[in-house]
Amino acid sequence: MSENPTALITGASAGFGRAVALALAARGWDLIITARGAEALARVREATGALAVPGDVADPAHRERLADVLTGRDRLDLVVNNASALGPSPMPRLADFPLGEFTAVLATNVVAPLAVLQLTLPKLLARDGTAINISSDAAVAPYEGWGGYGSSKAALDHLTAIFAAENPLLRVYGFDPGDMRTAMHQAAFPGEDISDRPEPETVVPALLRLIDTRPPSGRYTAAELSAAH
């Protein structure tokens, strides 16, 4: 059995997922990483030594491949459901939101994280593991134009809370990283300068604090975890 803790990170090819993968690899973790961007994911694999499984986590066939990979691993200590879909850019008001696009956002941001939790639950239970679903302040604040993404993250928050209540032997967290300078955030503000937003790497210490200290299951923000340090 591997002596190193093992994590599965979705959406690991760029942004916050990439930053988390690099940080955990630097700590000696074994990683399984997945994302749609195969070339970018390969670069993260080269930097971390991770096992890379390119594909769309919203695709059931891809999740079956992930399940096969996990079957061959002897441990899993952490799952980070980071893969997210913003929806159309520019972001439409809910009255004009194409329902097919809305369904796709829910598939990535709500259904896929639950599917990943379902397929990883036995291994997480065996390791007294941790599951982290990446949330957003858009889940709790009604920002105009953020109806698709915000609704999906609100649903994910409630899903996370219920999954935690149903699995008291695990630590299950919703983690709100706040605004970050990422490609997805740029897509939310096309043509605008978002250079005032913090780089994803600056938020990672807050997530590591959550992993290290293992407080009770719940919803935590990067700001409050940083303030508590």
**Run of H or E including 159:** helix 147-166
DSSP result, 19-64: HHHHHHHHTT-EEEEE-S-HHHHHHHHHHH--EE--S-TTSHHHHH
Sign of CA dihedral 123, 125, 130, 132: positive
Each residue's pLDDT, cut to its tens digit, for the chain (229 residues) gives 568 999 999 999 999 999 999 999 999 999 999 999 999 999 999 999 999 999 999 999 999 999 999 998 889 999 999 999 999 989 999 999 999 999 999 999 999 999 999 999 999 999 999 999 999 999 999 999 999 999 999 999 999 999 999 999 999 999 999 875 555 655 555 666 556 666 888 999 999 999 999 999 999 999 999 887 6
Listed in sequence order, the residues at least 6 apart from 217 whose beta carbon sits closer than 8 Å to its beta carbon are 161, 164, 168, 170, 171, 172, 173
Give the pLDDT confidence score for residue 72 in this predicted structure.
86
Helix, strand counts (H, E) of the chain: 9, 7
Q: Can you give the pLDDT at residue 189?
A: 56
* Residue matched to tokens 């809305």: 102
At the second CATH level, the architecture of 6-227 is 3-Layer(aba) Sandwich (3.40)
* pLDDT confidence of residue 188: 55
Q: Smallest Cα–Cα separation from 30: which of 88, 87, 75?
A: 75
The residues spanned by each domain of the chain are: 6-227
d(CA 45, CA 42): 5
pTM: 0.93
Whole-angstrom Cα distance, residue 168 to residue 165? 6
**Residues 162/109, Cβ–Cβ less than 8 Å:** no
Question: What is residue 228's predicted lDDT score, i.e. its pLDDT?
Answer: 73
